[in-house]
Structure 1
Amino acid sequence: GFTPAMKHEKLKDFSRGWKMRVALARALFIRPFRLLLDKPTKHLDLDACVWLEEELKAFKRTLILISHSQDFLNGVCTNIIHMHNKKLKNYMGNYDQYMKTQLELEENQTKRFPRQQDQISHTKNYIARFGHGSAKLARQAQSKEKILQNMMHDETLSFYFPPCGEIPSPVIMVQNVILKYTKDGPCIYSNLDFGTDLHTRVALVGPIGAGKSCYHQHLQEQLDLDLSSLEYVMKCCPEIKEKEEMRRIIGAMCVWLAWQNPHMLFLGKPTNHLDIETIDMLANAVNEFEGGMMLVSHDFICIQQVAQEIGVCEKQTITKWPGDILAYKEHLKSKLVDDEPQLIKRIYSV
């Protein structure tokens, strides 16, 4: 939560994560009859994501949210509304149940594929024969052409990281490292020892301000110690002058990164600006990648998909978590109950 000193600071001086906490606190404090949330977990750490999920589970009024976090949707939602081809369709259940229904529909679609191909061929012939005839036939042809476009454009995109080749281990080794945000500031990490190789698949987790991104950034030899990750990418793309413009297109950087032919992937919150399908696409590419990977993410499902180890950043060091990311989430839930026993019992009366 907010320290006494932070309560006297101006909101404009807070990071995006703290600004999101303030916005959520305001929205929940007024106890609205209808709560609308647009990607509420985007700038939250895992601790805050778990807190918000438990809070919204107990919310007894109407909640409508947009989120690209599958885990959050599973924990909070009782219905999923899917927008496709300018239409909305309602599905009962959480996100996993929605995906199960979608899979069943896709299986049925696969069975209908041969007949659909015949229909596409017939539609093409129909358009070729009658597309320029009478007004009535032309309208029918145009209608069938729209159907054809919907059939042809239902495709799945993917990308991959090129082979990187073998290099000796360790790829990166740090020993007795001390990291600070400023020269005279407190230590973020003290006497830190850490190494990575081509088999590394680790995700760094921990509370906001623990220094996950700071450590993650400065493992990269080419990164100027005076630059943030965003500033470094902007340095690589000098034609983009504004930070907000870079943030808007940052999702495309996955494709740019894929062709840099790296031996190690350092991914700092890569899912923040991606939709669910692209997150899954990124996870598949990372899993097929021959090199190593270090990830900082606040998306439980993404971490579960790609990470083989979990490193907890706290108390000026990094400690290996003994279980997987879902066990770590249960650990965070148990801490919530210990710190705030009434959390699970809180009920909003209409």
Structure 2
Amino acid sequence: MIDVRDITLMRGGEILLQEASFSVFPGHKVGLIGANGSGKSSLFALFRGEISLDSGDCDIPRGWRLASVKQETPALASSALDYVIDGDKQYRQLQQQLSTAEQQDDGRAIGDLHDQIAQIGGYDIEPRAASLLAGLGFSQAQLQQPVKDFSGGWRMRLNLAQALIARADLLLLDEPTNHLDVDAIYWLEGWLQQYDGTLVIIAHDRDFLDNVTQQIVHIEHKTTRTYTGNYSQFERQRAEQLAQQQASFEKEQTVRKHLQTYIDRFRYKASKAKQAQSRIKALEKLSAQAPLRAQSAIRFEFAEPDKLPNPLVTMRNLQAGYGTTVILKDIKFNLVPGSRIGLLGRNGAGKSTLIKLIAGQLEPQAGELALSTSVKLGYFAQHQLELLDPKASALLHLQRLDARASEQQLRDYIGGFGFSGDAATQAVAPMSGGEKARLVLALIIYQKPNLLLLDEPTNHLDLEMREALVFALQSFTGAMIVVSHDRHLLRSTVDDFYLVADQQVQPFDGDLDSYHQWLQQQAKNPDAAAPSEANSGNADTRKAQKRLEAERRQALKPLKDKVRKLEQQVDKLAGALEQINERLADADIYNEARKAELADVLKQQAQTQQQLSQCEHDWMIAEEELQEQTTDNYADN
């Protein structure tokens, strides 16, 4: 087993780990988690023997073969298939020795080497490599394509395949899902579940960790703690610990109550749609996370948009592509306030093309694309990280957006995204990818968009920031379209899925589990049709249904606004009550000299508690009324 005992690890004069200990047993699948910069990648470098400890011991069994994913890929002329086979170094060594023996006409050596190659599965290595590449999304034609012809993301997939073929005793994977789409992630999960070696994964994809790992090592406060179970089980265990430790548990309970209200609200619909079932599962997970969120430094929400035009976007017979190449055609659907759409489809099918089209980054080849004059677009894509001014700070970026706001107001806002104190005034240039992504999201949210276009928004974000984003998106009242390989984000924030395939964009009648089943059917029968609303009725019926849904949303808007305002009041009063209780926890306030102050604080406590109780009562009444009207609306149809 891997035995880490009382280690101290420093980098650049900074202590990453101090007196940390944990064990990884043979055959176990372990998730290594912690905030960005906490030392996860440094631990991988330690396991690979690339760095040394400052103190302590790290024992890895001698003779263990170790594999990890390269971060760089040379521009080689060799084929993708040969490059992946290079990952099995023992096979390549035996192959070279066999070539030498044949040149020397050494019959005995030739026989022995053929036996050794057979023992390690060398004679089926090409089909195994081809199978890995197919699982990761490569076509048959791409197998013989030179490595140098692939883009950066596809080269990372080649590196991943090279690590998987290595027959390692210890496999180290650092963010393996970052360059994969949902299809490839499902495949990788299945492969890793069958892997019989020892696996340590760094990942910020909670669904991936849930489906693959059986143990979590958490880095926090420069030390490690081990939890049995997957990521969701880790969250529950850690939430219980925090609940016992934190004096502010009352506030955490308020958050739990808030989340439970949503669970109850969606449970009424649980028997009506698979999508509702997925939403309930996600919200039940969020309930266990409330104490974790209560202590998080990352806190933000979307402000109410100034206007919500209906429709926001109209698309009729749209065609999109590049040059003379058609990627999508006959796109027909509208975006109205409350639309929450997730795009599904294989890599390269056109999901990002659709986002770019609506964002105005791509001109339509044909058809009509009409955006309301009141649309305020919030567009997130990875290339926007490069558009940040490298010399400017997070604070300065905000000041350029709103010169009238005070510095303190902007500091308060940007602090909710983790840019507090000196971090707010540091230049963008040395920031990590995660910090830049946080800043781009902060700039988008500050402008109060009513239409969000999010293309892989969680790339580079750690788990804490991902959870904060999920929580904020759940209360966003505008329309949004999301492309993401983070299935937890999709399950928690999206109401409808659209499948992008065969140059079409069609409603997908199902959830992510249905999509996974469809992918499996596609692998067996490429001509299988997707479950789609297009197969369940004619165009006039679908149009009428969409119009009725829009009318229902518009009718419910005043009540939804009331519920949201009451929620905000409850949160504000709960925070005020917590501050009052903190003042009363100060022993000095009970001194005779502060008798008048004590009386005043006690009065404030009573008044605030009364206001909070009344506000919570009004909120619950409004929630029940909203639920009744929502249920009645659906019953009428």
| Counterpart for residue 396 of structure 2 | none
Q: Is the 8 A contact 2:454 2:483 kept in 1?
A: yes
Report the AA paired with residue 90 of structure 1. T
Report what 1:272 is aligned to. Answer: 459
Give the letter for the 2:162 counterpart. Answer: R
Deviates more, 1:195-204 or 1:153-162: 153-162
Residues 157 and 3 of structure 1, relative CA distance in 2, 3 Å threshold:
closer
* Contact kept in structure 1, 2:320 and 2:357, CA below 8 Å: no
1:206 and 2:345 are equivalent in the alignment: yes
Q: Which letter does structure 2 place at the counterpart of 1:65?
A: I
Quote the offset at 1:3 in angstroms.
Answer: 2.9
Please say which of residues 17-26 and 86-95 is displaced more in the overlay.
17-26
- In structure 1, what is the equivalent of residue 446 of structure 2? 259
CA contact (8 A) 2:296 2:464 kept: no
Match of 1:324 in 2: 511
The one of 356, 377, 385 aligned to 1:217: 356
Per-residue deviation at 1:330? 4.1
> Could you tell me which of 299, 316, 338 is aligned with 1:175?
316
Does the 8 Å CA contact 1:39/1:66 hold for their aligned counterparts? yes
Distance 1:224 1:260, change over 3 A: farther
Superposed CA deviations along residues 95-153 of structure 1, whole A, max 9, x for unmatched, are 11111111211221246979xxxxxxxxxxxxxxxxxxxxxxxxxxxxxxxxxxxxxx9
Query: TM (normalized to structure 1)?
Result: 0.76
Amino acid at match of 2:311: P
Residues 238 and 27 from structure 1, CA distance in 2 versus in 1: closer, same or farther, beyond 3 angstroms? closer
Indicate if the aligned counterparts of 2:343 and 2:498 stay in contact, CA closer than 8 A: yes
Q: Give the direction of change, closer, same or farther, for the CA distance of 1:245–1:112 in structure 2 (3 Å limit).
A: closer
- Compared CA separation, residues 83 and 244, structure 1 to 2 (3 A): closer
Q: Name the aligned partner's letter for residue 158 of structure 1.
A: R
Q: Secondary structure at the match of 2:318?
A: strand
- Is 1:315 matched with 2:456? no
Identity of aligned residues (%): 30
Structure-1 residue corresponding to 2:179: 43
Question: Deviation at 1:306?
Answer: 0.6
Residue matched to 2:226: 90
Q: What residue number does 1:117 align with?
A: none
Partner of 1:157: 298
Q: State the Cα deviation string for residues 151-181 of structure 1 (Å, max 9, x = none).
A: xx9544211122113333110111111111x
1:33 equivalent to 2:174? Answer no
Q: In terms of Rg, which structure is larger?
A: 2
2:497–2:508 CA contact under 8 A, matched in 1 = yes
* Deviation string, structure 1 residues 41-100 (Cα, Å, up to 9, x no partner): 011011100000000000000101100001100111010000000111111111111111
Unpaired runs of 5+ residues, structure 2, are 1-133, 251-293, 365-379, 393-427, 527-637
| Structure with higher RCO (Cα < 8 A, 6+ apart) | 1
1:9 paired with 2:145, answer yes
Whether 1:195 and 2:195 are equivalent positions in the alignment is no
> 2 CA distance for matches of 1:59 and 1:161?
42
1:157 partner amino acid: I
Q: 1:75 aligns with which of 197, 211, 225?
A: 211
Is contact 2:344-2:500 (8 Å) kept?
yes
| Contact 1:165-1:290 within 8 A present in 2 as well | no
SS at structure 1 position matched to 2:359? coil
Residues 13-39 of structure 1 show CA distances to partners (whole Å, capped at 9, x for unaligned) of 323442232112111112111100000
Question: Is the Cα–Cα contact under 8 Å of residues 16 and 43 in structure 1 kept in the other structure?
Answer: no
Question: What is the letter of the counterpart of residue 292 of structure 1?
Answer: A
Please give the alpha-carbon distance, in whole angstroms, between the structure 2 residues aligned to 1:224 and 1:238: 26
In structure 2, distance between residues paired with 1:243 and 1:310:
37
Pick closer, same or farther for the CA change 1:287–1:167 going to 2, 3 Å: same
- Is the CA contact 1:217–1:229 (under 8 Å) kept in the aligned structure 2? no
Instruction: Name 1:21's counterpart in structure 2.
Output: 157
Q: Deviations over 1:254-290 (max 9, x none)?
A: 1111112211011110001101111110111111222
1:58 aligns with 2:199: no
Query: Partner residue of 2:535?
Result: none
